[in-house]
């Protein structure tokens, strides 16, 4: 009978783990001495809907970047808001030699129903930090993330370091990371991810360097969104660490002053789309970006549709011949794809993006 009860207990614990609601996280590295570091993983957990899961998540597995894998035990679980608690997991590690190392952890069972990440609950939350052990350094400690935004209100996250030193930092918004295959994967961009302002194709989502804040002006569609940022630390003009932070923001109707939502700007490339008239115009429903121009290898194409639609991309030569076609599998607001230009003769080509209503083109050079 003991074995039966043991199996039942494992099943229950597994069910709790599967119910874990991960709302974000980050990894911090603190220098101890020579090549030794204290490694801390901070996870933001939805303890309102996943309290049982949070209670049994007592350790996480960390890849140290030198082939070593360690389990970090939880040292604290602290309420942050009425819905979110921050769990901290800690271990230490001594590196065998000076070098640049990626510290990472991959966690399953991310919260689902995220508007800007299809199939979110079946993707790993992949956290990473890169350190250079040739220099004595600890990664920056930033204020906690924010997890709730008001519709048509300005949402912001403070980026002023909570622990300061003589190094400087820069922060940029980023696509979410995913691991390459394997036990200790390297970081990759998840191109199924959309920046929050791409869901409504309105507003801005960017870092305000002067205010030292990440600012979203302004959420419009209610629901859950993933945000991510990369923090770079600099010393004497050299980058000495790079850290990834991820969090889930829930947009709700809440009291407070609302703002006029500005025209869409690209979070990834900066500035408004200029290859076509303003995408917010009632006469225009498509916009396109293609880069780099000129190119010798691949050209990346990002197309935006004002309304969700099947988006089609075509690579066309100056004789009107279609050399390549790509289409979204489902109605989308934005897609990003690549065309291989390596086997084409040097010259001018067109990239055409279209939905059921409009088409727009941009010239590219090979």
* pLDDT tens, residue by residue, 280-338: 444 456 788 888 878 888 888 988 887 788 999 999 988 888 999 999 888 888 888 99
| Cα dihedral: 135, 141, 147, 153 (round 10) | -100
CATH topology of domain 286-365: Immunoglobulin-like (2.60.40)
Residue 234 vs residues 2, 231, 339: alpha-carbon distances, Å: 57, 10, 35
pLDDT digits (tens, 9 = 90+) for 200-254: 878 999 999 889 999 999 999 999 999 999 999 998 888 999 999 999 999 999 9
Query: What is the pLDDT, as a whole number, of residue 269?
Result: 59
Q: How far is CA 122 from CA 110, 112, 114, 189, 227, in A?
A: 7, 8, 11, 16, 17
pLDDT (mean) for 109-127: 84
- The 10s digit of each residue's pLDDT in 61-109 is 999 999 999 999 999 999 999 889 999 999 999 999 999 999 999 998 7
pTM of the model: 0.73
191 has a pLDDT exceeding 50? yes
Whether residue 177 is predicted with pLDDT greater than 90 in this model: the reply is yes
Residue pair 175/191 in contact (Cβ under 8 Å)? The answer is yes
Start-end of H helices in the chain: 2-18, 51-56
Q: What is the DSSP string of 105-168?
A: EEE--B---BTTSTTGGGS-EEEEEEEETTS-----BPPPP--EEETTS-EEEE-S-SB--S-E
279-289: per-residue pLDDT in tens?
444 445 678 88
Please check the confidence at residue 351 and state whether its pLDDT lies above 70: yes
Residue 343, SS3 per DSSP: coil
- Summarised one tens digit per residue, pLDDT across range 31-70 is 999 999 999 999 999 888 777 777 788 999 999 999 999 9
Kindly tell me if the per-residue pLDDT of 167 is higher than 60.
Answer: yes
In the chain, where the domains are located:
20-252, 286-365
Which pLDDT value is given to residue 282? 44
Q: Check if the beta carbon of residue 140 is closer than 8 Å to that of residue 150.
A: no
Residue 284 has what pLDDT? 52
Encoded tokens for 354 = 């279209």
**Of residues 150, 123, 163, 132, the one with CA closest to residue 246:** 123
User: What one-character DSSP code corresponds to residue 220?
Assistant: -
Q: Is the pLDDT of residue 166 over 80?
A: no
In tens, the pLDDT along 3-16 reads: 443 433 333 334 33
Specify the pLDDT at position 306: 75
Q: Could you tell me the pLDDT band of residue 355, with boundaries at 50, 70 and 90?
A: confident
What integer pLDDT is reported at residue 5 of this predicted model? Answer: 39
Contact 246, 24 (CB under 8 A): yes
β-strands 148-150, 238-252 pairing: parallel
């Amino acid at each position: 009978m003991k074995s039966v009860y043991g199996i039942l207990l494992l099943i229950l614990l597994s069910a709790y783990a599967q119910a874990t609601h991960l709302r974000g996280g980050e990894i911090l590295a603190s220098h101890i001495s020579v090549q030794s570091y204290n490694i801390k993983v901070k996870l933001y957990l939805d303890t309102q809907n996943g309290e049982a899961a949070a209670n049994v998540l007592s350790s996480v597995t960390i890849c140290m970047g030198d082939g070593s894998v360690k389990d970090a035990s939880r040292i604290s679980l602290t309420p942050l808001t009425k819905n979110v608690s921050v769990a901290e997991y800690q271990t230490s590690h001594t590196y065998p030699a000076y070098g640049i190392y990626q510290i990472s952890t991959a966690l399953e069972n991310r919260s689902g129903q995220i508007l800007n990440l299809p199939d979110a609950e079946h993707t790993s939350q992949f956290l990473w930090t890169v350190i250079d052990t040739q220099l004595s350094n600890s990664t920056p400690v930033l204020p906690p993330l924010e997890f709730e935004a008001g519709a048509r209100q300005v949402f912001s996250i403070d980026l002023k370091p909570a622990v300061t030193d003589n190094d400087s930092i820069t922060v940029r918004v980023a696509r979410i990371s995913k691991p390459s295959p394997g036990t200790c994967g390297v970081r990759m961009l998840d191109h199924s991810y959309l920046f929050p302002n791409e869901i409504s194709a309105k507003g801005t989502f960017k870092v305000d360097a002067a205010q030292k804040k990440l600012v979203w002006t302004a959420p419009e569609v209610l629901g859950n969104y993933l945000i991510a940022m990369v923090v770079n630390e600099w010393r004497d003009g050299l980058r000495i660490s790079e850290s990834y932070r991820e969090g889930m923001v829930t947009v709700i109707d809440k009291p407070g002053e609302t703002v006029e939502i500005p025209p869409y700007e690209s979070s990834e490339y900066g500035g408004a789309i200029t290859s076509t008239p303003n995408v917010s115009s009632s006469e225009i429903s498509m916009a396109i970006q293609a880069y780099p121009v000129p190119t010798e290898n691949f050209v990346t194409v990002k197309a935006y549709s004002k309304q969700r639609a099947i988006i089609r991309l075509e690579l066309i030569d100056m004789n009107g011949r279609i050399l390549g076609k790509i289409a979204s599998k489902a109605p989308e607001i934005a897609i990003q794809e690549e065309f291989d230009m390596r086997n084409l003769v040097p010259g001018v080509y067109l990239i055409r993006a279209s939905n059921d209503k409009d088409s727009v083109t941009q010239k590219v050079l090979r």
